[in-house]
Structure 1
């Protein structure tokens, strides 16, 4: 399964870093990726760069039989012990001044503790082998061949531990809580090695891409066997369960009819194979796919979530993104020769220190799902594009995830102010920023107007306050409507939410914490 990296929204005292899944996740998208650095123990959620290196040096010394300083050894031992369960981990991070103490967040973590205890004593058993039946190539074999039986569920739904559905608006710490839980899973779910069952931590959008790809592959397999169209979902769910019995979805949302139509069957099949799911979302289950096409057919999936998941509201009135943080210089405007020169110097500086390769290649071609994308300039893990390279072409979320997975740092030059005539480009730019956010990519952008105003209407001095609904959405996101300006680009609720979320993410991606913890090992 394709892994999407994530970014936490913790109560920060210093720089933040999310725990990333490593070897137990299979990548189904193209394998060209920047190298994944695997260390001796899970990285601490929210640890600063210095803290991670400090801890890693101690763990490495111990693993190699050296005798580290007593203080280092003590700190490493405490850090290891803190991964025992969610509450212990949270208390350690507070004690270590990585997170700020927050009674509401600690109460939420007690919900994680409940599921952790259920999983500690949960034995899902083996996953059944895939059902296969060879087709005899003879005439009579084709007439009388047996069709394959679907993999049969191994668990009654009531015997599978109740999952968690964590929902709240932007800035409520959803991703941080998910990462914290995933990093403290009971031993049998941390790895598939030594008889473990494994787990998967993934962004929901990437997960659904993987599901659709598996459906296609299973369908093609059945067609090759001469079986025609058969339901591929049982085998898809079985293969997902084989890779991990705990499935953590981040940013769970339903925006298209395909996801809406298959979601209930998919969740039921997964639980039938003993899979326990944890989800984070911006919406209560009742508000999923609101006003969507044929929403009535999605209601059974909502009822299943409410029945088989503990639904937890994360909103406490505290927006952890709005805690004081120093802005870092990553956005440049207006478009001028000085701006172009400054970005060029930054690119050369980062490329010359690139740990993957310092050679700058012009017009590099990278494969994207049977096509090629031309990268004007790039080193091993640093790339520079024009806005038109990324947004004037019919690229998709999967393409952007591939680009931001390959390059840890991306420069985007010449972002224009987008009006109604650039609606498609605006949508692609939002999708690209979402991919950067999911893959923890460091970005540098030059734009015609300040970055937060690139979606504001041209020649319009009004504000988002002219549209009460838009102002309410941005207030919920913690955005200043007067700074963003008005926009007629986005009409439906989902589009408006995606726009406001993009501006909010651009704000977070311009902070010193993001710059220090994104883009792999490179630092400014």
Structure 2
């Protein structure tokens, strides 16, 4: 299988914790073989009463919908890698792999839209005119799009998310949606010390009872190993440093250099608009300074990047002066977002960090950014996990 192939070519080491997780993914793969999918071909009327448990009963099959999978463990142990392999190979067409925070942002947008719909619009979106509770119809919308949902980096820090997760997941599961999630936290530690956490406890109970909860805490931190011997700040900007950053990207993403022309792009949705990512793979994104800081982007854009990617490569940071004060301000906001979320930064720059913005509006405040750029090169920062501190 794909996992064994990675061991053969040396991309991963034999790891009993990963092997145990793979056995659970194999179980789920088998359970999904022949599993019925909800698609847009089904009418909006049929999904109102559709429950997958009923499907098996109606068809004379005593199977139950497959159990979900919750994979947790330390940074760099291969959780996302294993889930990506499973997502790519899963025997379903209607499947989606998404960062958990991005998914929840989309859920809140859908709920807001539902509350503003007229009665006719609610009918058109598979609901009832007087159905004021947005969670059931939003769950139906999601179920029509994906029978398999794979969430990366599940972490709950927002009370608004905490209050709806239990009901949302219950609705999705009753509709037959199969859920796979990775997290740095054991389920019992989700939303730890959060406001009104007692209201969140039924969701934790549901995860523990209805998902296979699997620990992945092997001895090897693959992500940290890939950073060993890789500088993070390259200067000046020339063909040599550009090539070094390119080589670092292929090392960090385990991609073959021969596939240089096949590196995929990505798109983030930020407040209803698209943010294009020129290159992205395995949680690593590549941008030019010009794309991120010379264009009118803001904190929301940079936060979306920081939440989605554990590593960012920024190419060609120029020395800035008072005429580039807007670019300097955006760069400060960008670095703050990365720093607060533990995102690793590799970059090429015209000059050393201390010389990037020596004078102009905000030059004094820029000194904090210089300090953060220096800290982000340290072994301690590189070893830090991805996510809001």
- TM-score, normalising length: structure 2: 0.64
Deviation at 1:240, TM superposition (A): 1.2
Q: Deviations over 1:2-60 (max 9, x none)?
A: xxxxxxxxxxxxxxxxxxxxxxxxxxxxxxxxxxxxxxxxxxxxxxxxxxxxxxxxxxx
Structural RMSD (CA) = 4.9
Deviation at 1:156, TM superposition (A): 4.0
Is residue 182 of structure 2 the alignment partner of residue 272 of structure 1?
no
Partner SS, residue 202 of structure 2: helix
Partner SS, residue 289 of structure 2: strand
Is residue 339 of structure 2 the alignment partner of residue 430 of structure 1?
yes
Deviation at 1:167, TM superposition (A): 0.1
Match of 1:92 in 2: 5
Partner SS, residue 151 of structure 1: helix
Q: How does 1:54-453 map onto structure 2 within 5 Å?
A: 88-124=1-37, 129-131=43-45, 151-156=48-53, 159-186=64-91, 189=92, 191=93, 198-222=94-118, 230-323=132-225, 327-332=229-234, 339=235, 346=242, 369=271, 383-385=288-290, 393-396=298-301, 400=305, 410-412=315-317, 427-430=336-339, 434=343, 443-444=347-348, 448=353
Q: How does 1:445-524 map onto structure 2 within 5 Å?
A: 448=353, 480-481=379-380, 500-502=384-386
Contact 1:391 1:428 in 2 (8 A): no
Deviation at 1:241, TM superposition (A): 1.2
Partner Cα distance (1:160, 1:400) in 2: 35
Partner SS, residue 289 of structure 1: coil
Partner Cα distance (1:402, 1:171) in 2: 16
Contact 1:165 1:279 in 2 (8 A): yes
Contact 2:341 2:387 in 1 (8 A): no
Contact 2:159 2:194 in 1 (8 A): yes
Deviation at 1:346, TM superposition (A): 4.3
Partner SS, residue 247 of structure 1: strand
Match of 1:26 in 2: none
- The unaligned stretches of length 5 or more in structure 2 are 55-62, 123-128, 247-259, 263-268, 276-285, 321-330, 355-365
Deviation at 1:89, TM superposition (A): 1.9
Contact 1:397 1:432 in 2 (8 A): no
Deviation at 1:126, TM superposition (A): 6.2
Partner Cα distance (1:433, 1:319) in 2: 16
Deviation at 1:326, TM superposition (A): 5.4
Closer, same or farther: CA 343–295 of 1 in aligned 2, 3 Å: farther
Aligned length: 315
- Between 1:150-159 and 1:101-110, the stretch displaced more is 150-159
Greater share of helix residues, 1 or 2? 2
Q: Deviations over 1:376-417 (max 9, x none)?
A: xxxxx953249977999543556548999xx996555679xx
- The unaligned stretches of length 5 or more in structure 1 are 1-87, 133-149, 192-197, 333-338, 357-366, 374-380, 416-421, 450-454, 465-478, 485-498, 505-524
- TM-score, normalising length: structure 1: 0.49
Closer, same or farther: CA 480–96 of 1 in aligned 2, 3 Å: closer
Partner Cα distance (2:261, 2:48) in 1: 46
Partner Cα distance (2:78, 2:318) in 1: 31
Closer, same or farther: CA 389–315 of 1 in aligned 2, 3 Å: same
Partner Cα distance (2:308, 2:22) in 1: 35
Deviation at 1:290, TM superposition (A): 0.7
Q: Deviations over 1:142-171 (max 9, x none)?
A: xxxxxxxx9234134993210100000102
